[in-house]
Every structure is written in C-alpha cells, then in structure tokens.
Amino acid sequence: MTISLSEYNGLTASMQVDPEAPLTEAVSESFLRAFPVEEARCGDTHSDMDWVPDREQSVVPVAMRLTCAGCPVRQQCLQWATRCDEPGYWAGTTKADREQMASLAQTSIETADWLQSFAATAEAGDPIGHEVGQGSYRHYRRDKCRCGECRQANSGRRAAERDKVRSAAQRAA
C-alpha cells in the first residue's frame, strides 16, 4: 500500500509542530511511504492530545502511553521517529528517550518501556509496584503506591464516590 505525501500530512497533522507546514525533504518520500500510517492507533484517535508539545514531560502522558501501548506498528513508529529525529511523543517515548536509545544502540520497545518506567519512578520519588500504564485505585490504596497514575486513579474514584453520594442525596430530597 502506498500513500501520497498529502495524505500522510493529513493523517499526521496532530503530530506535526505546525500542521500547516509541509514535511521537509530531510526524509525521503520512499521512507515516508514505508511507514504504515493507516495502521497506527494515533491516526484513528480523534482527540485533543498534544503529540508535539512546546515542552515535553519526562513521562509520556497516560492517555498517549495507552494509545501507543497497543499499537500494531509501534516498533516501526519508534524506528521512524528515532531515524528522523522527530520532536514530541512517538511510540510511547519522549525525544530524550529516543536520543538515549540511539546512543546505546538499543532502539526497541522493551528499552523504551524500561526508560519510561524509570522516568515514572524518578518522577514519583519512590519505586512503583507495577508496570507503567497499570496504575490503579487498588495500587494506591492497598499497595500505597503514590505514582502519578495511581494518584490520578484515586482522585477519579473519589470523585465518582462523591458524585454518587450527591445523586443519592438529590433523589432523597
């Protein structure tokens, strides 16, 4: 399957720094055609996720990480972003992750996940007891995990509990 450059630009508009800017000639058109854009999960995601932020976080945001985690072309995306020196979040990695993988000659999904797990642990300030992307209310309450994912899961669960109590009070009134 071959896609045109204009089709590629349309599919990846949310991943470009400036969606109106055309791709540069730094990447050969044959390499662009080789990238399986139509199979990428992010191409089907219609959301306001900022794949190329002005300033990247050290840990890829959870929604993006989960989108990338189940993508069938994640390895190809990682190789493409590393080879083309792309800014932003690609294949569940940051630009810094990809630079570190390139310097180690270890451009693999396993290395990417390990680097993100390490970054999440460092950000949390203490070790997490689960894989990145698996944070939950249970880990927060039972395992006392205080990583960003588990804190977010706890906040969501608590908000749902408050809403349930409010709804019950309104029905009773």
How does pLDDT run along the chain (173 residues), one tens digit per residue? 444 545 545 555 445 444 444 444 444 443 444 555 667 778 766 667 888 888 888 889 888 888 888 888 899 889 888 888 888 999 999 999 999 888 888 889 998 988 888 787 767 655 556 777 788 888 888 877 877 788 888 889 999 999 999 999 999 88
pLDDT at position 124 = 63
Query: Largest alpha-carbon pair distance within the chain?
Result: 67
Tell me the three state secondary structure of residue 93.
Answer: strand
Could you give the CA distance from residue 25 to residue 3 in angstroms, rounded to a whole number?
A: 17
- Give per-residue pLDDT as tens, 87-120: 899 999 999 999 988 888 888 999 898 888 878 7
Q: Which residues pair with 90 in a beta bridge?
A: 93
Tokens for 102, please give them: 């390139």
Torsion of CA 157, 162, 164, 166, to 10 degrees: -170
pLDDT at position 50 = 84
The domains of the chain are located at 5-125, 133-173
Could you give the CA distance from residue 33 to residue 161 in angstroms, rounded to a whole number?
A: 49
- pTM, whole model, 2 decimals? 0.52
